[in-house]
Each structure stands twice: as C-alpha cells, then as structure tokens.
C-alpha cells in the first residue's frame, strides 16, 4: 500500500500511522519526526529547521523535498509500500512528489485526508505528550500513559513539543489553511482522495481503513 496522510496539525496523522504501519507493514516516513531528530542531534539541517518549526512556519520546500527524495530513492526502501506523514504540505511539494514517484515507479494508491474540527485539534495538541526515547504518542486525557510522564513502550521520558503551545498552534493552523488545504483539491482531481472522519477513535479508524483498502484491492483484481 502506498499512502499520503493529509490533515491539520493534531488531526492524528502520527497516531493513525503508528497503527496502520503495523497492519500494513509499510515504511512510515514522517517529515516532522525526521526534522525533530535532526534538531535533537543539533545537525546543520536541525539548526536550520528549528528556526521555522519553533515558530510554526514551514521548512523551505527545497529542504524537505530533498529529504523525502533521499528516503524514497534509497535502495529497496519502499518496495513494500510507504506511508508519508506530513509531506506534501504545499502544491510545490505535491508536484515534486509526483515526479519522484514516477521516477521510482511507485505511484500513490490513496491520499487520506484526516478531517477534524478546531476544538478537537486544540484539545489534542495541548494535551499531547511524546516519548523522548522512541517517539510514541500519548495524550494526558485521551491516551494517558500507565505511569505519569513515562512511556508505556520503552520506559522513556515523555515531553511536550515546543510547538504545542497556544500561540504556535494558531500560526500552524493559519499556515495549514493557506498552504496545505489547497492540495486536497490536487489529489481529488487525481481521483486519489479518501476523506476520513478523524474525530473518531483511532482504532475504529484503522479498522474502517483496512476494510476500505481490502475492498479496493478486490476491485482491482482481474
């Protein structure tokens, strides 16, 4: 399966990706996770990205496109399928992605558009906690860890992302509406768009999507 996950900040792209990755056994590539890892390592790319991420702005198209191209074109990296989370985020990125996918003969099956409402988004982002060790996602109310502040998966320390504060969330939403929302139409025109009600429970969403993929697969069989 070859997927792109679209949707506003906090719609649950990372949470759904973690579930789908296990059932679909595809590579999960999250530009946000890669950039945060670079920031943690204080690399040149991390230092460059931090200037944008901490303010809720987008990292320049050329930088993220190069990053994704290197992930998608590395040997055998995506032969078993892929799930892109957080890319593309602009029309320019969507067009660049089509060029890369054409080159590697791995066209997209679906662009999943996770639709959510503003109050849900704010509640999810302000309560999110992330594991410093393995990146697992938690929420103080919706998905609390068994031990406060400690990751259930690896025992790592949970932290709150620097961009999950009210002011930066507002900027991220504005940036999303201006730059990313328009690419929904881009995928609709390609007949690849699948709308998903992201306010639902994530396990329920996973089950619905797995059924959709299975039915789509049957339809395409000779």
Q: Which of residues 94-123 bind ligand AP5 (CB under 6 A)?
A: none
Nearer to ligand AP5 by Cβ, of 56 and 187: the residue is 56
Residue 219 C-beta: closest distance to ligand AP5, Å? 27
- Note if 124 is an active site residue: no
DSSP 114-173: EE--HHHHHHHHHHEEEETTT--EEETTTB--SBTTB-TTT-PBEE--TT-SHHHHHHHH
Q: Look at the block and give the residue holding tokens 């099956």.
A: 109
> Considering the rule CB under 6 A, would residue 87 count as an interface residue with ligand AP5?
yes
> Considering the rule CB under 6 A, would residue 14 count as an interface residue with ligand AP5?
yes
Residue 144 C-beta: closest distance to ligand AP5, Å? 9
Marked catalytic residue, from 2, 71, 128, 129: 128
- Note if 132 is an active site residue: no
Backbone angles phi, psi at 35, to 5 degrees: -65, -40
Per-residue CA distances from 116 to 34, 64, 119, 201 (Å)? 24, 25, 9, 12
Helical (H) or strand (E) element with 39: helix 31-40
At a CB cut-off of 8 Å and minimum separation 6, what does 62 contact?
none
Q: Using an 8 Å Cβ cutoff, are 9 and 176 in contact?
A: yes
- Note if 161 is an active site residue: yes
Marked catalytic residue, from 21, 161, 192, 200: 161
Report the SS3 class of residue 2: strand
- Note if 172 is an active site residue: yes
> Considering the rule CB under 6 A, would residue 20 count as an interface residue with ligand AP5?
no
Nearer to ligand AP5 by Cβ, of 87 and 113: the residue is 87
Residue 64 C-beta: closest distance to ligand AP5, Å? 4
Q: Using an 8 Å Cβ cutoff, are 164 and 72 in contact?
A: no
Number of residues that bind ligand AP5 (CB under 6 A): 33
Options 21, 27, 77, 143; binder of ligand AP5; rule CB under 6 A? 143
Cβ neighbourhood burial of 60 (10 Å; 0-12, 13-18, 19+): middle
Residue ranges in contact with ligand AP5 by CB under 6 A: 7, 9-15, 31-32, 35, 52-53, 56-59, 64, 86-87, 89, 93, 124, 127-128, 137-139, 142-143, 172, 201-202
Active site residues: 13, 89, 128, 161, 172
């Amino acid at each position: 399966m070859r997927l792109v996950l679209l949707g506003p900040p906090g719609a649950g792209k990372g949470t759904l990706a973690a579930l789908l990755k296990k059932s679909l056994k595809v590579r999960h590539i999250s530009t946000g996770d890669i950039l945060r890892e670079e920031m943690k390592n204080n690399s040149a790319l991390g230092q460059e990205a931090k200037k944008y991420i901490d303010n809720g702005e987008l990292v320049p198209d050329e930088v993220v496109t190069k990053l994704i191209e290197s992930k998608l074109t590395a040997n055998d990296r995506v032969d078993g399928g892929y799930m892109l989370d957080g890319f593309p985020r602009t029309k320019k990125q969507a067009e660049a992605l089509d060029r890369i996918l054409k080159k590697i003969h791995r066209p997209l099956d679906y662009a999943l558009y996770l639709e959510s409402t503003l109050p849900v988004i704010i509640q999810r982002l302000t309560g999110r906690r992330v594991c410093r060790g393995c990146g697992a996602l938690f929420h103080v109310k919706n998905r609390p860890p068994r031990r406060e502040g400690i990751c259930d998966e690896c025992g790592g320390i949970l932290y709150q992302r620097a961009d999950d504060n009210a002011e930066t969330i507002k900027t991220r939403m504005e940036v999303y509406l201006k730059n990313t929302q328009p690419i929904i139409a881009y995928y609709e025109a390609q007949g690849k768009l699948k709308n998903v009600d992201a306010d639902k429970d994530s396990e329920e969403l996973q089950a619905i999507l797995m059924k959709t993929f299975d039915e789509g697969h049957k339809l395409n069989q000779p």
